[in-house]
Each structure stands twice: as C-alpha cells, then as structure tokens.
Amino acid sequence: MTQTIAFQGELGAYSHQACREARPEMEAMPCRTFEDAIEACRSGGAALAMLPVENSTYGRVADMHSLLPQSGLNIVDEAFVRVHINLLGLPGTQISDISQAKSHTVLLGQCRQFLTEHGIARLTGADTAGSAREVAELGDPATAALASELAGEIYGLDVLARHIEDQGNNTTRFLIMSREADMTRRGDHGMITTFIFQVRNIPAALYKAMGGFATNGVNMTKLESYMVGGSFTATQFYADIEGHPDDPAVKRALEELDYFTDMLEILGTYPRDPRRD
C-alpha cells in the first residue's frame, strides 16, 4: 500500500511540491490547516507530515514554532523548495489577454514588477493553489493565477510566464515529521539537531547556556525566542545546531545547556540538506 504524507493546503500548493520533490514515492494528502496535517500523522492517517517553518524572504512561518513542540511528532528530515512563481491562464490564452491575476497576497507582493509592466491588476485569493483552481473553474480568459507549475498541471492551466518573482532566491524550508524518532546517522552532509529549551530564572542564564556551544565548537545555525502561554516572562527558545547528540562536543554542550534550563526537549535529529549552502 502506498504511504501518505500530509500537508497543509490544496493540491498544487508549494507544500505539495515539497512532498513531491522530497518523497516522490508517497501519496500527498491535502489538509485544511497545519493542525489537521499534524493530527493526520499523529493518528496514523498519514505516515509523515510536511510542515513549512521559514521562508528566506518572509522569515518564520507564524505559529509553527508553538505547534511543533506540542505536536507529539519528531523531525526526521528537512526539505528546501525554491518558490518559483508562474502566471497561469486558461488554455490558449496569451499574456496580452490577462487583465487581472489572483493569488495569495504574499505572492502578489512578490511579483509587483511583472504585474506592473503588463498592466495586470491584483486579486487577493485565499492561497496559491486555490486561486489556480478558481481560475480554472471561472473560465474567464482575462483572469490568471499566480502559482506553481504543479498547480497549472493539476488544474489544466497553461504557463503564460515562468519565474516572474521579483527576487531570484526565494526559498521555503520544510520539516518532515514522523510519529517515530530516527536518531540514526544518515545522509552525506552531516546532521542537524533541533531542540527547544527554557532557561532558568537566574542572571545571564541565556549567555551561560550558550557558552557550552561556543567552547565546544558546535555551530548553532538558528536561535529564536517566543513567548509561552501569553506570558511576558516565560520565554522558550528554538534552536538548530550542526551535529548529532552522540557527538562528544554536542553531548558536552547539551549537558551544559541542561544545567541552565528548566526544560530541554530534542525535537529531532536529521540529515543536513546541502541546499542550506
């Protein structure tokens, strides 16, 4: 039986593209919300879940860092998707036929130059793939969608213009989640370990907690803070480091971190994607 991987959004979304690129052998399962995608994996309805965590242009995905620790799932891999935006229209139409384009407001903002040059008005849609589906259903040759080529393929739209985004390096990072942790060493480019922690209420606790990574030569690639439970005093931190918890240097750094924290939880250890570079 084909295994499934859950994602938030409609078929043709960039999260769907991430599923196809990272796990082409699996069947992609669209879900209405991030919580639904997490629950599909947690309940066994899907083997894995594909969750976006950050974008190179717009930063971290809202709410994801609070959802991950509560998900009951483990990070087993990461995936990077280059967000190429395309102008999709009804079969047989030309760019000159298009007077308005529909998409998520974020994508509309990323294609200002192209849309302005061609005199195309912007229509805000709920999401990218949904906009492509709606354009196909509407049947108006003057209305196009901004979405992935995958969305065009699924909803029978022609690609009228490829890669029309203003910035040429827009990339989204995804985490692949599983019910079971995988602590094995794998991949050819090293390992990444992701964890969350909350420092003790003592002076310079964060500074002292971070010292173990510096003195042991462990590279921390991400450190973000976020409030817990609406409190202005309880702050959790989300971190990515290079290495495996069993590496001697990483083990020493985590032991030192544990001394200065009230809570420390490893969310996953997984292969480092070379596209980080």
Kindly state whether residues 255 and 141 are assigned to the same domain: no
Helix or strand run (H / E) with residue 197: strand 191-199
Give me the pLDDT at residue 232, please.
Answer: 63
Within a domain: residue 183? no
Kindly state whether residues 196 and 268 are assigned to the same domain: yes
In the predicted structure, residue 1 carries a pLDDT above the cut 60: no
Kindly state whether residues 54 and 174 are assigned to the same domain: yes
Kindly state whether residues 63 and 174 are assigned to the same domain: yes
In the predicted structure, residue 106 carries a pLDDT above the cut 90: no
Q: Please, which residues bridge with residue 51 across strands?
A: 175
Give me the pLDDT at residue 234, please.
Answer: 61
For residue 107, count other CB atoms closer than 10 A to its CB: 26
Kindly state whether residues 146 and 28 are assigned to the same domain: no
Kindly state whether residues 70 and 113 are assigned to the same domain: no
Q: Which of 93, 143, 172, 193 is catalytic?
A: 172
CATH number at 30 reads 3.40.190.10
| pLDDT tens-digit readout, 4-45 | 999 999 999 999 999 999 999 999 999 999 999 999 999 999
In the predicted structure, residue 235 carries a pLDDT above the cut 80: no
Give me the pLDDT at residue 128, please.
Answer: 94
Kindly state whether residues 29 and 60 are assigned to the same domain: yes
Give me the pLDDT at residue 24, please.
Answer: 97
Q: Under DSSP, is residue 213 helix (H, G, I), strand (E, B) or coil?
A: helix
Q: Which of 174, 197, 237, 260 is catalytic?
A: 174
Work out the average pLDDT over 65-90: 94
Give me the pLDDT at residue 202, please.
Answer: 80
Instruction: Give the mean pLDDT of the chain.
Output: 93
174 is catalytic: yes
Final residue of a structural domain among 147, 178, 209: 178
| pLDDT tens-digit readout, 131-146 | 999 999 999 999 999 9
Within a domain: residue 186? no
Which ranges of the chain would DSSP assign to H, the alpha helix?
A: 14-22, 34-42, 64-70, 105-110, 112-117, 128-138, 149-155, 205-215, 248-259
Work out the average pLDDT over 103-123: 94
Within a domain: residue 184? no
Domain count, the chain: 3
| pLDDT tens-digit readout, 144-186 | 999 999 999 999 999 999 999 998 888 999 999 999 999 999 9
Kindly state whether residues 155 and 174 are assigned to the same domain: no
Domain that holds residue 127: 86-161
Within a domain: residue 74? yes
Kindly state whether residues 105 and 79 are assigned to the same domain: no
In the predicted structure, residue 212 carries a pLDDT above the cut 80: yes
Closest to 264 measured CA to CA, from 251, 277, 247:
251
Work out the average pLDDT over 225-240: 78
pTM of the predicted structure, to 2 decimals: 0.91
- Please give the single-letter amino acid code of residue 226: Y
Q: Please, which residues bridge with residue 220 across strands?
A: 241
Kindly state whether residues 76 and 121 are assigned to the same domain: no
172 is catalytic: yes
Q: What would the DSSP string read from start to end of 97-135?
A: G-SEEEE-HHHHHHTHHHHHHTTPEEEE-S-HHHHHHHH
CATH number at 268 reads 3.30.70.260
